[in-house]
Structure 1
Amino acid sequence: MFYRVFRDAVLLIALLASAQSHAAQVQAQVAAPKGTLVIIGGGLRGDNAAVWSRIVQLAGGEGARIAVFGAASYNAAKAGDVNAARLNQYGAKAFAVPIGRGLPDTADDPELADAIRKAGGAYFAGGDQARITRALRRPDGSNTKVLDALWEMYRRGGVIAGTSAGAAIMSSTMFYRADTVLSTLRQGVEEGNEIAPGLGFIGDDVFVDQHLLIRGRFARMLPAMLKKGYKLGLGIDENTAMVVGADREVEVLGYRGALLLDMTEASTQDGGEFNVSNVKLSYLDNGDRFNLASGAITPGRDKADGKLNPSRPYYKGPLFTADILANSAVTDLMARLIDSDQLDAIGVAMSSPFDKKSDLGFEFRLSRVQESVGYQSPLTDAYSIYKLRLDIRPIAVRQPMYQYRNGSSQDYNAAQSNAR
């Protein structure tokens, strides 16, 4: 009797272990799509042949069927038609998907879902990313048939591309009702307000943001990443794409570049205003590659022989910018630091005295550390900058503003009043 009970218990344990192993294998298969993502930072121009052609190529080449979603746009029908026509100029046979504002709810149409499942790729136009997630998820949060079809196509080997809002949905968390970058640093982020669930095509381990350099958005990524526990963030600039393969290799393609934020060794002090230390910040230029699995960064071919020599710096003297959130200010400062005789560079972020918390600003300190390295192209003078250290701390901004005159400061408002 005892032997039979013991035998049955062992058999049950073996069956449970086998079921768990099978479930793990199925989960691993589901979590490893064979397809490719093309994540575009917005502002994709019609003449950017490198990006448009790559989408068509990845979808199957000449005649590839690509489902175009205009749902993010206020005029979803027009956005779908215009972007489908653009892809067709580059050799595709794209078709607009009738899902979005003012259009019939067809996200559970089995025929439409089947057409998307059989396509070689999908393209999401820009606009408001919340319109995409509302269109493709049911009110209870479950997937519509069209969203399931997108995942099946992607897992099979298809391409999913998106620009602006279509890029934001790529990570499992996306910005939703975000305020300005500086306000996000001051006030933080909350689920359902500044951030909300995305569609997660890139996986749960990478946070994605767009319009990055032109709008200084790299800074707003940090509070969101800390809130949700992300260790890696990829921010892509306008008219530029990140091509993410099944092997987790990221290639930067297009006009500008992308910022990589590595928070693996970052820390923050609780109980005060936003702060963070020891973020590793890298700028990946056109042609550069980064492997999400191994962490290896490879410069583009035009920069491979252009590794900078720290003993022969080009820039001399202190490095500073008064508006680190301005268009491309952070990458300009990074480029000067990596090719400088300085070990640190400082940028400041502050706002109008009429804003909330106008007396709260932030200091951004970039530092060259042992692992920092830079490359420069002899063709374009473009830089690739890897693994600078970034520390951000809150600073007090004296309000009201004071006017400096004759070697001393005086109340600016009083001076203006006296002048009148």
Structure 2
Amino acid sequence: MCQSVAFQLVVRLLLRCLLACACWTGLPAVAAAPDSSISASQPKGSLVIIGGALRGDNAAVWERMVQLAGGKGARIAVFASASASPDKTGQALVERFRHYGAQAFFVPVAPRLAGTDYQAAAEDPALAAAVRAAGGAFFSGGDQARITRALRRPDGSNTRILDALWELYRGGGMIGGTSAGAAIMSSTMFGHPKPVLATLKLGLGEGGEIAPGLGFIGDEVFIDQHLLVRGRFARMLPAMLKKGYQLGLGIDENTAMVVAPNREVEVIGYRGALLVDLSKAVAQDGPLELSNVRLSYLDNGDRFHLRTHAFTPAPDKRDNRIDPARPYYREPLFSADILGHSTVVELMSRLIDSDQPEAIGLSLDSPHAVQPELGFEFRLSRSPDSVGYQSALTEQYSVYKLRLDIRPIVVQHPLYQYWRLDAVAGGGRVGAAR
């Protein structure tokens, strides 16, 4: 106990020194430039939402966070609240931000941080003042439920630290997060849901599977992460339907969505993001059955405006719009595993540059899974407002507003039979199934 108290006293003393230094030296200006499209009540800061697995050498993302926090020398508060080893994770993140020119500092508000009382730390006035005075804040990956547990009181109200984060963001600061740190950006987040296919079959429950997030992006957009690598785009749909979202953004690993104060989203990094639009979708009861979803893939450098829904391709794509009269792909488009690594984007890219009317993907489960006979068909097709672009440099596609229809299907088990090929005199014959 004495060691814990001593540790907290040292932390408080250091934070008071940091805050005093920040106030004496003056922080880089972080307020956004005036914009007539920004209302007085809207936050003036920016969000950097990363899909997880952010590499230390992804300079585009790290440098953008430092820039939005005020540039070289900007103070960035690092939260490792979600981590199982917050001391190690926090120190690694502090060092990485310092590598890119920021004056980062660790915020000791984490349920798994040994020797501290995270609830007391979340109410510490000096710690809250240091966060409020920073140019930005960053949340690590891990378990997003630990973040909300650390920053909200048992009755659901904001701790002093969470209030300080909101003041930082409303005043023009940057808030970034990766993986779990991305999940908390929307007002609803995944907690500990079932696997994707089980979620499509059985739906989602409150509390454990979906839970309240911190809502920095607002109440109208749902966020998910690790999207393409883990085939998670499909699980967004039942979550959005359950909570009434019409718009969802799912970001892939080592990639970020930068949300500007004017509500324009820019994708930067290794891959891209999926935009899910349910504004005209029609859902049926029971296992997921959904028609007229609009699905878009935003690649590196693409922009999408959350308010106007305007889509702007990256500069290397703007003069290379796909011509439907000159398709590149001419074979049928099919996948037996639509939830595979980046499979949905591969089908979307081929369809937008194809003579085929549709692309079909299936999702089937193990014979030992819940309801093994139940699978799903995902049917992608072009609509009148579908459009695609291809980069002249990387040959990567951006695809806007394909139609997606999903229906449950019955799967016959076993899916295959073994056949024996017997050699006989003068040739061979196919033996009976076994």
Kindly indicate whether residue 256 of structure 2 is the aligned counterpart of residue 241 of structure 1. Answer: yes
- 1:58 shift after superposition: 0.4
Tell me what 2:235 maps to. Answer: 220
- Structure 1 segment 265-304 matched on structure 2, within 5 A: 265-270=280-285, 272-304=286-318
Q: Is the 8 A contact 2:380 2:404 kept in 1?
A: yes
CA deviations 1:324-367 (Å, max 9, x no partner) are 00000000000110000011000000111111111110000000
Tell me what 1:389 maps to. Answer: 403
Kindly indicate whether residue 322 of structure 2 is the aligned counterpart of residue 308 of structure 1. Answer: yes
Tell me what 1:62 maps to. Answer: 72
Tell me what 2:367 maps to. Answer: 353
Where do 5+ consecutive residues of structure 2 fail to align?
1-38, 421-428
- Structure 1 segment 97-112 matched on structure 2, within 5 A: 97-100=107-110, 101-102=112-113, 103-105=116-118, 106-112=121-127
- 1:274 shift after superposition: 1.3
Please give the alpha-carbon distance, in whole angstroms, between the structure 2 residues aligned to 1:357 and 1:375: 40
Tell me what 1:145 maps to. Answer: 160
Tell me what 1:78 maps to. Answer: 88
Q: Partner letter of residue 172 of structure 1?
A: S
Tell me what 2:197 maps to. Answer: 182
Please give the alpha-carbon distance, in whole angstroms, between the structure 1 residues aligned to 2:267 and 2:415: 42
Q: Is the 8 A contact 2:83 2:89 kept in 1?
A: yes
Please give the alpha-carbon distance, in whole angstroms, between the structure 1 residues aligned to 2:94 and 2:365: 41
Q: Greater shift after overlay, 181-190 or 321-330? A: 181-190
Kindly indicate whether residue 339 of structure 2 is the aligned counterpart of residue 325 of structure 1. Answer: yes
Please give the alpha-carbon distance, in whole angstroms, between the structure 2 residues aligned to 1:237 and 1:138: 31
- 1:56 shift after superposition: 0.3
- Structure 1 segment 70-219 matched on structure 2, within 5 A: 70-100=80-110, 101-102=112-113, 103-105=116-118, 106-219=121-234
TM-aligned CA distance change 1:409 to 1:318, over 3 Å:
farther
CA deviations 1:264-305 (Å, max 9, x no partner) are 1001122x3211110100000000000000000000000000
Q: Is the 8 A contact 1:70 1:79 kept in 2?
A: yes
Q: Is the 8 A contact 1:63 1:91 kept in 2?
A: yes
CA deviations 1:187-235 (Å, max 9, x no partner) are 1111102100000000000000000000010000000000000000000
Q: Partner letter of residue 339 of structure 1?
A: D
Q: Partner letter of residue 33 of structure 1?
A: P
Q: Is the 8 A contact 1:403 1:409 kept in 2?
A: no
- Structure 1 segment 3-82 matched on structure 2, within 5 A: 29-30=40-41, 32-82=42-92
TM-aligned CA distance change 1:320 to 1:409, over 3 Å:
farther
- 1:318 shift after superposition: 1.2
Q: Is the 8 A contact 2:203 2:287 kept in 1?
A: no
- With normalisation by structure 1, the TM-score equals 0.89
Alpha-carbon RMSD across the aligned residues, in angstroms, is 1.5
Q: Partner letter of residue 331 of structure 2?
A: G
- 1:29 shift after superposition: 4.3
Aligned counterpart in structure 2 of residue 231 of structure 1, from 246, 271, 290: 246
Please give the alpha-carbon distance, in whole angstroms, between the structure 2 residues aligned to 1:162 and 1:269: 35
Where do 5+ consecutive residues of structure 1 fail to align?
1-27, 416-420
Please give the alpha-carbon distance, in whole angstroms, between the structure 1 residues aligned to 2:430 and 2:366: 22
Please give the alpha-carbon distance, in whole angstroms, between the structure 2 residues aligned to 1:185 and 1:408: 39
TM-aligned CA distance change 1:248 to 1:355, over 3 Å:
same
Count residues with an aligned counterpart: 383
- 1:408 shift after superposition: 9.8
TM-aligned CA distance change 1:263 to 1:78, over 3 Å:
same
- 1:401 shift after superposition: 3.4
Task: Tell me the SS of whatever aligns to 2:417.
Answer: strand
- 1:81 shift after superposition: 1.0
Please give the alpha-carbon distance, in whole angstroms, between the structure 2 residues aligned to 1:58 and 1:409: 68
- 1:399 shift after superposition: 1.9
Please give the alpha-carbon distance, in whole angstroms, between the structure 2 residues aligned to 1:410 and 1:402: 13
Q: Partner letter of residue 348 of structure 2?
A: M
Task: Tell me the SS of whatever aligns to 2:218.
Answer: coil
Please give the alpha-carbon distance, in whole angstroms, between the structure 1 residues aligned to 2:61 and 2:156: 32
Tell me what 2:8 maps to. Answer: none
Q: Partner letter of residue 67 of structure 1?
A: A
CA deviations 1:105-129 (Å, max 9, x no partner) are 2000010000000000000010000
% identity of equivalent residues: 66
- 1:410 shift after superposition: 7.8
TM-aligned CA distance change 1:269 to 1:65, over 3 Å:
same
Q: Partner letter of residue 104 of structure 1?
A: D
- 1:409 shift after superposition: 11
